[in-house]
Structure 1
Amino acid sequence: MGKYDKILTIGLLILETFYFVLIKALPENAAKYPTFVCGLLIILTVILGIKSFTLKEKYEGKLFGDLQLKQFLFIIIISGIYIFLIEILGFFVTTFIYLLVAMIGLKADIKLSSVTSVGFCILIYLVFVVFLKVPVPSGFLI
Protein backbone atom coordinates (compact mmCIF):
# COMPACT_ATOMS: atom_id res chain seq x y z
CA MET A 1 0.00 0.00 0.00
CA GLY A 2 2.96 2.35 0.50
CA LYS A 3 3.37 2.93 -3.24
CA TYR A 4 -0.32 3.78 -3.65
CA ASP A 5 -0.25 6.06 -0.60
CA LYS A 6 2.67 7.98 -2.10
CA ILE A 7 0.85 8.41 -5.41
CA LEU A 8 -2.33 9.40 -3.56
CA THR A 9 -0.43 11.96 -1.47
CA ILE A 10 1.11 13.62 -4.51
CA GLY A 11 -2.20 13.59 -6.39
CA LEU A 12 -4.09 15.06 -3.45
CA LEU A 13 -1.54 17.84 -2.98
CA ILE A 14 -1.90 18.79 -6.65
CA LEU A 15 -5.70 18.72 -6.37
CA GLU A 16 -5.66 20.76 -3.15
CA THR A 17 -3.35 23.35 -4.73
CA PHE A 18 -5.82 23.68 -7.62
CA TYR A 19 -8.69 23.91 -5.10
CA PHE A 20 -6.84 26.63 -3.17
CA VAL A 21 -6.31 28.67 -6.35
CA LEU A 22 -10.03 28.42 -7.14
CA ILE A 23 -10.92 29.57 -3.62
CA LYS A 24 -8.92 32.77 -4.11
CA ALA A 25 -11.42 33.81 -6.82
CA LEU A 26 -14.27 33.80 -4.27
CA PRO A 27 -15.31 36.85 -2.24
CA GLU A 28 -13.69 37.00 1.20
CA ASN A 29 -16.80 36.03 3.18
CA ALA A 30 -17.70 33.18 0.82
CA ALA A 31 -14.13 31.83 0.93
CA LYS A 32 -13.95 31.24 4.69
CA TYR A 33 -15.45 27.76 4.84
CA PRO A 34 -13.78 26.43 1.65
CA THR A 35 -10.44 27.75 2.94
CA PHE A 36 -11.00 25.92 6.22
CA VAL A 37 -11.84 22.68 4.39
CA CYS A 38 -8.84 23.07 2.08
CA GLY A 39 -6.54 23.68 5.05
CA LEU A 40 -7.89 20.61 6.80
CA LEU A 41 -7.39 18.52 3.66
CA ILE A 42 -3.81 19.76 3.33
CA ILE A 43 -3.05 18.89 6.97
CA LEU A 44 -4.49 15.38 6.56
CA THR A 45 -2.63 14.89 3.27
CA VAL A 46 0.66 15.96 4.85
CA ILE A 47 0.07 13.45 7.67
CA LEU A 48 -0.60 10.74 5.06
CA GLY A 49 2.54 11.80 3.19
CA ILE A 50 4.71 11.66 6.29
CA LYS A 51 3.33 8.23 7.11
CA SER A 52 3.70 6.84 3.59
CA PHE A 53 7.17 8.25 2.91
CA THR A 54 8.68 7.36 6.31
CA LEU A 55 7.19 3.93 7.03
CA LYS A 56 8.56 1.03 5.06
CA GLU A 57 5.77 -1.47 5.69
CA LYS A 58 4.51 -3.57 2.83
CA TYR A 59 0.88 -4.44 2.28
CA GLU A 60 0.60 -8.15 1.69
CA GLY A 61 -3.14 -8.68 1.65
CA LYS A 62 -5.70 -8.70 -1.09
CA LEU A 63 -7.31 -5.30 -1.50
CA PHE A 64 -10.94 -5.51 -0.30
CA GLY A 65 -10.26 -9.12 0.65
CA ASP A 66 -12.49 -8.98 3.70
CA LEU A 67 -15.40 -7.24 1.94
CA GLN A 68 -18.66 -8.66 3.16
CA LEU A 69 -21.07 -8.67 0.24
CA LYS A 70 -24.22 -8.79 2.40
CA GLN A 71 -23.22 -5.66 4.32
CA PHE A 72 -22.20 -3.88 1.12
CA LEU A 73 -25.53 -4.64 -0.58
CA PHE A 74 -27.40 -3.71 2.59
CA ILE A 75 -25.81 -0.24 2.60
CA ILE A 76 -26.44 0.22 -1.14
CA ILE A 77 -30.12 -0.70 -0.75
CA ILE A 78 -30.81 1.47 2.29
CA SER A 79 -28.94 4.35 0.64
CA GLY A 80 -31.31 4.11 -2.32
CA ILE A 81 -34.28 4.10 0.04
CA TYR A 82 -32.77 7.10 1.88
CA ILE A 83 -32.51 9.10 -1.33
CA PHE A 84 -36.10 8.22 -2.23
CA LEU A 85 -37.53 9.13 1.21
CA ILE A 86 -35.58 12.34 1.83
CA GLU A 87 -38.13 14.52 -0.02
CA ILE A 88 -41.10 12.73 1.52
CA LEU A 89 -40.13 12.54 5.20
CA GLY A 90 -37.65 15.41 5.33
CA PHE A 91 -33.88 15.50 5.65
CA PHE A 92 -33.51 15.14 9.41
CA VAL A 93 -36.10 12.40 9.95
CA THR A 94 -34.77 10.39 7.01
CA THR A 95 -31.15 10.90 8.07
CA PHE A 96 -31.90 9.79 11.63
CA ILE A 97 -33.68 6.64 10.40
CA TYR A 98 -30.95 5.92 7.82
CA LEU A 99 -28.11 6.21 10.31
CA LEU A 100 -29.94 4.17 12.93
CA VAL A 101 -30.84 1.37 10.50
CA ALA A 102 -27.37 1.37 8.93
CA MET A 103 -25.53 1.13 12.23
CA ILE A 104 -27.86 -1.49 13.69
CA GLY A 105 -27.70 -3.42 10.40
CA LEU A 106 -23.91 -3.37 10.64
CA LYS A 107 -24.23 -4.80 14.16
CA ALA A 108 -23.40 -1.71 16.20
CA ASP A 109 -24.75 -1.29 19.73
CA ILE A 110 -28.34 0.03 19.71
CA LYS A 111 -27.70 2.66 22.40
CA LEU A 112 -24.58 3.91 20.65
CA SER A 113 -26.42 3.93 17.32
CA SER A 114 -29.26 5.99 18.78
CA VAL A 115 -26.97 8.52 20.43
CA THR A 116 -24.82 8.81 17.31
CA SER A 117 -27.85 9.29 15.04
CA VAL A 118 -29.35 12.01 17.23
CA GLY A 119 -25.98 13.71 17.75
CA PHE A 120 -25.18 13.70 14.04
CA CYS A 121 -28.57 15.18 13.15
CA ILE A 122 -28.14 17.91 15.76
CA LEU A 123 -24.63 18.67 14.49
CA ILE A 124 -25.83 18.87 10.87
CA TYR A 125 -28.73 21.11 11.92
CA LEU A 126 -26.46 23.49 13.82
CA VAL A 127 -23.80 23.68 11.10
CA PHE A 128 -25.95 23.84 7.98
CA VAL A 129 -29.28 25.33 9.07
CA VAL A 130 -28.28 27.63 11.94
CA PHE A 131 -24.71 28.63 11.04
CA LEU A 132 -24.57 28.43 7.23
CA LYS A 133 -28.32 29.04 6.62
CA VAL A 134 -28.50 26.26 4.02
CA PRO A 135 -32.02 25.06 3.24
CA VAL A 136 -32.51 21.33 3.66
CA PRO A 137 -35.34 19.22 2.21
CA SER A 138 -38.39 19.30 4.43
CA GLY A 139 -41.05 16.65 4.28
CA PHE A 140 -44.41 16.29 5.94
CA LEU A 141 -42.85 15.44 9.33
CA ILE A 142 -40.10 18.06 9.74
Structure 2
Amino acid sequence: MKRSDIGVTVIIYAFTLFFLVMTLELPPDAQTYPLCLIGGLLALNTLYLGRCLLRARGGAGVVNDLPEIFAGFQWKQFGVVCLSCVLYMIIMALAGFYAASLLYLAGMLWYLGVPRGQALATIGAMAAMIYCVFSLFLKVPLPVGLLFK
Protein backbone atom coordinates (compact mmCIF):
# COMPACT_ATOMS: atom_id res chain seq x y z
CA MET A 1 0.00 0.00 0.00
CA LYS A 2 1.27 3.42 -0.90
CA ARG A 3 0.94 6.44 1.30
CA SER A 4 -0.77 8.31 -1.53
CA ASP A 5 -3.48 5.62 -1.61
CA ILE A 6 -4.46 6.54 1.94
CA GLY A 7 -4.77 10.23 1.05
CA VAL A 8 -6.73 9.61 -2.12
CA THR A 9 -9.28 7.32 -0.46
CA VAL A 10 -9.75 9.70 2.48
CA ILE A 11 -10.30 12.65 0.12
CA ILE A 12 -12.81 10.68 -1.95
CA TYR A 13 -14.71 9.64 1.19
CA ALA A 14 -14.77 13.30 2.32
CA PHE A 15 -16.07 14.48 -1.06
CA THR A 16 -18.77 11.83 -1.20
CA LEU A 17 -19.88 12.69 2.34
CA PHE A 18 -20.03 16.38 1.41
CA PHE A 19 -22.07 15.68 -1.72
CA LEU A 20 -24.30 13.22 0.14
CA VAL A 21 -25.21 15.90 2.67
CA MET A 22 -25.92 18.37 -0.14
CA THR A 23 -27.92 15.79 -2.12
CA LEU A 24 -30.15 14.98 0.84
CA GLU A 25 -31.21 18.64 0.89
CA LEU A 26 -32.64 18.31 -2.64
CA PRO A 27 -36.27 17.38 -3.28
CA PRO A 28 -36.76 13.58 -3.24
CA ASP A 29 -37.31 13.37 -7.02
CA ALA A 30 -33.99 15.13 -7.67
CA GLN A 31 -32.01 12.84 -5.37
CA THR A 32 -32.06 9.65 -7.45
CA TYR A 33 -29.32 10.41 -9.98
CA PRO A 34 -26.85 12.00 -7.52
CA LEU A 35 -27.40 9.20 -4.99
CA CYS A 36 -26.62 6.60 -7.67
CA LEU A 37 -23.39 8.40 -8.55
CA ILE A 38 -22.42 8.81 -4.89
CA GLY A 39 -23.21 5.15 -4.17
CA GLY A 40 -21.13 4.00 -7.13
CA LEU A 41 -18.22 6.21 -6.11
CA LEU A 42 -18.38 4.94 -2.52
CA ALA A 43 -18.48 1.32 -3.71
CA LEU A 44 -15.51 1.75 -6.05
CA ASN A 45 -13.52 3.65 -3.43
CA THR A 46 -14.21 0.96 -0.83
CA LEU A 47 -13.15 -1.77 -3.26
CA TYR A 48 -9.94 0.13 -3.99
CA LEU A 49 -9.25 0.62 -0.28
CA GLY A 50 -9.85 -3.10 0.33
CA ARG A 51 -7.46 -4.02 -2.45
CA CYS A 52 -4.80 -1.70 -1.01
CA LEU A 53 -5.26 -3.13 2.49
CA LEU A 54 -4.95 -6.69 1.19
CA ARG A 55 -1.78 -5.74 -0.63
CA ALA A 56 -0.37 -4.12 2.54
CA ARG A 57 -1.32 -7.15 4.60
CA GLY A 58 0.46 -9.38 2.12
CA GLY A 59 3.80 -8.02 3.22
CA ALA A 60 4.20 -4.90 1.13
CA GLY A 61 3.51 -2.58 4.07
CA VAL A 62 3.05 1.15 3.59
CA VAL A 63 5.47 2.76 1.14
CA ASN A 64 6.05 6.53 1.19
CA ASP A 65 5.67 7.49 -2.47
CA LEU A 66 4.82 11.17 -1.89
CA PRO A 67 8.30 12.58 -2.70
CA GLU A 68 8.23 10.76 -6.03
CA ILE A 69 4.69 11.88 -6.85
CA PHE A 70 5.29 15.54 -6.03
CA ALA A 71 8.78 15.73 -7.53
CA GLY A 72 7.66 17.64 -10.62
CA PHE A 73 4.68 19.41 -9.04
CA GLN A 74 4.00 22.76 -10.66
CA TRP A 75 2.77 25.10 -7.93
CA LYS A 76 2.13 27.97 -10.35
CA GLN A 77 -0.11 25.83 -12.55
CA PHE A 78 -1.93 24.50 -9.49
CA GLY A 79 -2.51 28.05 -8.21
CA VAL A 80 -3.81 29.26 -11.57
CA VAL A 81 -6.25 26.34 -11.81
CA CYS A 82 -7.51 26.92 -8.23
CA LEU A 83 -7.92 30.65 -8.87
CA SER A 84 -9.75 29.96 -12.11
CA CYS A 85 -12.19 27.69 -10.23
CA VAL A 86 -13.04 30.58 -7.91
CA LEU A 87 -13.45 32.90 -10.92
CA TYR A 88 -15.69 30.27 -12.54
CA MET A 89 -18.07 30.42 -9.60
CA ILE A 90 -18.12 34.21 -9.66
CA ILE A 91 -18.77 34.29 -13.42
CA MET A 92 -21.48 31.64 -13.02
CA ALA A 93 -23.27 33.87 -10.50
CA LEU A 94 -23.04 36.80 -12.92
CA ALA A 95 -23.39 35.26 -16.39
CA GLY A 96 -24.93 31.84 -15.77
CA PHE A 97 -23.88 28.23 -16.07
CA TYR A 98 -23.45 27.95 -19.84
CA ALA A 99 -21.38 31.11 -20.32
CA ALA A 100 -19.21 30.43 -17.27
CA SER A 101 -18.61 26.80 -18.22
CA LEU A 102 -17.58 27.61 -21.77
CA LEU A 103 -15.35 30.50 -20.65
CA TYR A 104 -13.73 28.32 -17.98
CA LEU A 105 -13.13 25.48 -20.43
CA ALA A 106 -11.73 27.81 -23.08
CA GLY A 107 -9.46 29.53 -20.57
CA MET A 108 -8.10 26.31 -19.14
CA LEU A 109 -7.51 24.75 -22.54
CA TRP A 110 -5.65 27.90 -23.63
CA TYR A 111 -3.62 28.06 -20.40
CA LEU A 112 -2.66 24.39 -20.59
CA GLY A 113 -1.49 24.80 -24.19
CA VAL A 114 -4.02 22.66 -26.01
CA PRO A 115 -3.84 23.25 -29.79
CA ARG A 116 -6.53 25.62 -31.09
CA GLY A 117 -8.32 23.07 -33.29
CA GLN A 118 -8.55 20.51 -30.52
CA ALA A 119 -9.68 23.19 -28.07
CA LEU A 120 -12.47 24.37 -30.39
CA ALA A 121 -13.61 20.79 -30.98
CA THR A 122 -13.60 20.12 -27.24
CA ILE A 123 -15.53 23.30 -26.45
CA GLY A 124 -18.12 22.54 -29.13
CA ALA A 125 -18.56 18.94 -28.01
CA MET A 126 -18.80 19.92 -24.34
CA ALA A 127 -21.32 22.69 -25.08
CA ALA A 128 -23.52 20.23 -26.96
CA MET A 129 -23.13 17.56 -24.30
CA ILE A 130 -23.88 19.94 -21.41
CA TYR A 131 -26.97 21.25 -23.18
CA CYS A 132 -28.26 17.79 -24.09
CA VAL A 133 -27.62 16.20 -20.69
CA PHE A 134 -28.74 18.99 -18.38
CA SER A 135 -31.39 20.82 -20.40
CA LEU A 136 -32.91 18.15 -22.63
CA PHE A 137 -32.41 14.86 -20.78
CA LEU A 138 -32.39 15.76 -17.07
CA LYS A 139 -34.38 19.01 -17.47
CA VAL A 140 -32.39 20.56 -14.64
CA PRO A 141 -32.82 24.29 -14.08
CA LEU A 142 -29.36 25.81 -14.33
CA PRO A 143 -28.17 29.16 -12.94
CA VAL A 144 -28.86 31.93 -15.44
CA GLY A 145 -26.82 34.57 -13.63
CA LEU A 146 -27.64 38.05 -12.45
CA LEU A 147 -27.03 39.60 -15.88
CA PHE A 148 -29.76 37.55 -17.58
CA LYS A 149 -32.53 37.65 -14.96
- TM-score grouping bracket, smaller chain normalisation: 0.5 to 0.7
| Residues 1:94 and 2:83 are matched in the alignment | no
Which amino acid in 2 is paired with 1:134?
Answer: P
- TM-score, normalising length from structure 2? 0.63
Give the Cα–Cα distance (whole angstroms) in 2 for the partners of residues 140 and 23 of structure 1. 28
| Residues 1:66 and 2:78 are matched in the alignment | no
Helix, strand or coil for the counterpart of 1:29? helix
Equivalent residue in structure 2 for 1:115, among 114, 121, 130 = 121
Query: How much does 1:121 deviate?
Result: 2.8
Query: How much does 1:135 deviate?
Result: 2.7
Match of 2:52 in 1: 52
Which amino acid in 2 is paired with 1:46?
Answer: T
Helix, strand or coil for the counterpart of 1:61? helix
| Residues 1:42 and 2:48 are matched in the alignment | no
Give the Cα–Cα distance (whole angstroms) in 1 for the partners of residues 52 and 75 of structure 2. 29
When the two chains are superposed, the root-mean-square deviation of aligned CA atoms in Å is 4.1
Query: How much does 1:97 deviate?
Result: 1.8
Helix, strand or coil for the counterpart of 2:67? coil
Give the Cα–Cα distance (whole angstroms) in 2 for the partners of residues 94 and 13 of structure 1. 28
Q: Do the aligned partners of 1:89 and 1:138 also contact (CA within 8 Å) in 2? A: yes
Match of 1:78 in 2: 84
Query: How much does 1:73 deviate?
Result: 3.0
Query: How much does 1:40 deviate?
Result: 1.7
Q: Do the aligned partners of 2:96 and 2:146 also contact (CA within 8 Å) in 1? A: yes
Give the Cα–Cα distance (whole angstroms) in 2 for the partners of residues 103 and 36 of structure 1. 30
Q: Sequence identity, in percent?
A: 20
Equivalent residue in structure 2 for 1:134, among 129, 141, 145 = 141
Give the Cα–Cα distance (whole angstroms) in 1 for the partners of residues 128 and 80 of structure 2. 25
Structure 1: state its 5+ residue gaps. none
Helix, strand or coil for the counterpart of 1:66? coil
Query: How much does 1:50 deviate?
Result: 4.5
| Residues 1:33 and 2:39 are matched in the alignment | no
Q: Relative to total residues, which structure has the larger helix share, 1 or 2?
A: 2
- 1:12-62 CA deviation, whole Å, 9 max, x = no partner? 669969x88x989x8863442133112221232134225423446662625
Query: How much does 1:102 deviate?
Result: 0.6
- TM-score, normalising length from structure 1? 0.65
Query: How much does 1:126 deviate?
Result: 2.6
